[in-house]
Amino acid sequence: MIQVKGVSKFYGTFPAVQGVTFEATPGQVVGLLGPNGAGKTTTIRMITGFLPPSAGRIAVCGHDTISASAESRQKIGYLPESAPLYPEMRVRDYLSHRARLYGMPRVDRKPAIIRAADRCRLLEVMTRRIGHLSKGFRQRVGLASAILHNPPVLILDEPSNGLDPAQIRETRTLIKDLSAQRTVLVSSHILPEVERTCDRVVIIARGQIRADGAPPELLARMLRQVPARHIVEIYVETRPDPEAGGRSELDRIASKIRAIPGVAALLREPIHGEPPDPTGARVAEWVRLVVMPEVTHPDLREPLSRTLSSATVLFRELRRQAPTLEQLFMRVIDAETVPVGASNAAQEGGGE
Amino acid sequence: MSRVLAIATREFASFFRIPLGWVVVALFLSLSAVFFAKGTLVPGEPAEMRTFFGVWWFLLLFVTPAVSMRLLSEELRTGTIEPLLTAPVSEWTIVFGKYLAAVGFLAAMLLPSVVFVGVLEYLARPDYGAIGAGYLGLLLLGMLYLAVGTLASTLTSSQTLAFLGTLFGLLLLDLAPSRLAAQAPEPWAGLLFKLSPSFRVTDFARGLIDTSAAAYFLLASFWFVALAAVILQSRRWR
């Protein structure tokens, strides 16, 4: 159980984290998602007690990270970013050292080391020096040392950083396994990674929480705010027509589309891979138009097809394209202050 | 206490897992051997190690900073300080554990020099009381130097800076009081002399164990180690 309440951190006058509030409960994998420099690591370091917050309170399993620092640290298993380890030590010695730091009795140490090493698939490298291991193995040594004392809270800062796809998949499975009775907090700047591993995502950008919720729910909520664009491909003349006062057929259709209620903007996009017209004799060509609807009109396919039919224009495509997760994510983190999610439930409640 | 030992044993073992530890021991012992052969093994001279201890005090000035420079600077540089400080151990435990390891290493480094005593025993009848007191003085002086080095090591993530900082700190600690004492008026002169570690240690080589001198070394060492712990703690608040 992690409770973060109104936490801020200033480096000098620079606000690295501002008023962050969230909770993580047992059995849940919470993803802390955000671009580099968003304040993920600072937030994590405050939870693990490495940095004190400038304002606000953090409790881990009910222990305040400042007033009951040792107790709260005992409850946490932590894998820092890039897993710093002692390269001159052998894997077994390192795990044994960590077990002693967490005050594990001598009799419990050996089985705990074997269990953690087995889970992280380290048994084959137990006698090797950490400095001689590959990046993937080193990451696993860090992970094994984090789960060694069977902590109720597991915090992993960018656990998939620098791993190859197979190793990332392995880490993901391991995190899922470990989350059964634990509270797991994972940070990442890679969206699909978080989407696949986490039950809940907290999106953080410029030190503030921008969104908080389950990935499908977040997606639905963001979709309501970011309307889907419509793509139309029509066969029209693009050359100015002197009889129509210098306007082309394209201009005429475009103004009709703009007149549809709910159309916010209309753009022309190039069509790639269209065979060129070497003679220049063709009078008409395929043109791709992108219709941006207003939030109040999420679906414009019907009015669009009516308009095109009544104008007797040949069209080969009319498609509604929902924004990709990536685009939504970028929109959320680029937004100045339009947070969505649980932290702003009151604000949002009025709008829905 | 078991956590202090966990840190101390890891640190102590790491001295021997890297070349630095072996290089320091080898240089120290080979230089010692040269001075022993040239200064102490002189026909007709008494079988004692007084001059030899004098040389060692001087060597310690350079050897101890090399031992202590790594203690925390390396952790700060490589980031291993993060898993260490987020484990349920206090800053005091970390600093004291590392300091203990350095003192242990110093003792381990001095251990092979017992061979020199064996040589004296083979040739003559050395005064074991004086030799024992000399070793004790050497260890006490080394403990103070290592405490200063531990403090310097918490201040920077650069081992070079930690080494130089310790060296200059020790020279200042050693020379400043005695130089100032020479010019100061009486009550101050005596006091300043007593603050100089090299002045305090001279009696030990003569076989004189002065409890006030021993207390001085232990208290001064404690003071520097405690200061190092406070500085490490303050890193969290910056």
Tell me if chain A has a CB within 8 Å of the CB of B19.
no
Nearest chain A residue to B8 by CA: give it: A97
Same domain, A207 and A305: no
Burial B134-168 (b: 16+ CB within 10 A, else e): bbebbebbbbbbbbbbbbbbbbbbebeebbebbbe
pLDDT tens by residue, A171-211: 888 888 888 889 999 998 887 788 888 899 998 988 999 88
How many domains would you assign to chain B?
Answer: 1
The answer to whether the Cβ–Cβ distance between A103 and B78 falls below 8 Å is no
The domain boundary residue, chosen from A185, A200, A224: A224
Radius of gyration of chain A (CA): 27
Same domain, A298 and A180: no
pLDDT of the residue at B238:
60
Token pair recorded at residue A332: 């959320």
Tell me if chain A has a CB within 8 Å of the CB of B3.
yes
- Count CB pairs under 8 A between chains A and B: 66
The domain boundary residue, chosen from A173, A195, A224: A224
The domain boundary residue, chosen from A179, A201, A224: A224
pLDDT of the residue at A346:
36
Best interface-test mutation with A: which of B86, B98, B233, B235 has the largest number of A CBs within 10 A? B86
Residue A225 — very low, low, confident or very high, per pLDDT cuts 50/70/90?
confident
CB A323 within 8 A of CB A226: yes
pLDDT of the residue at A335:
67
pLDDT of the residue at A78:
96
Same domain, A288 and A219: no
Tell me if chain B has a CB within 8 Å of the CB of A78.
yes
Tell me if chain A has a CB within 8 Å of the CB of B235.
no
Which residues of chain A lie closer than 8 angstroms to B87, CB-CB? Answer: 73, 98, 101-102
Is pLDDT of B142 > 60?
yes
CATH of the domain at A247: 3.30.70.380
Of residues B230 and A165, more confidence is placed in B230
Relative to beta strand A55-60, strand A183-188 is unpaired
Question: Mean pLDDT across chain A, nearest whole number?
Answer: 86
Q: Interface pTM (ipTM) of the complex?
A: 0.88
CB A119 within 8 A of CB A62: no
Is pLDDT of A348 > 70?
no
The answer to whether the Cβ–Cβ distance between B85 and A80 falls below 8 Å is no
Structural domain of A274: 227-321
How many domains would you assign to chain A?
Answer: 2
The answer to whether the Cβ–Cβ distance between B18 and A93 falls below 8 Å is no
Same domain, A300 and A244: yes
Same domain, A161 and A238: no
Same domain, A30 and A166: yes
Question: Mean pLDDT across chain B, nearest whole number?
Answer: 88
Structural domain of B193: 2-235
Closest CA of chain A from B152, distance in Å: 21
pLDDT tens by residue, A155-164: 999 988 878 8
pLDDT of the residue at A74:
95
Is pLDDT of B180 > 70?
yes
Tell me if chain A has a CB within 8 Å of the CB of B80.
yes
CATH of the domain at A57: 3.40.50.300
Same domain, A284 and A316: yes
Which residues of chain B lie closer than 8 angstroms to A45, CB-CB? Answer: 82
Nearest chain B residue to A65 by CA: give it: B86
Residue A54 — very low, low, confident or very high, per pLDDT cuts 50/70/90?
very high
pTM of the model: 0.82
Same domain, A196 and A236: no
Same domain, A189 and A232: no
DSSP-assigned states of every residue in B141-210: HHHHHHHHHHHHHHH-S-HHHHHHHHHHHHHHHHHHHHHHHHHS-HHHHHHHHHH-HHHHHHHHHTT---
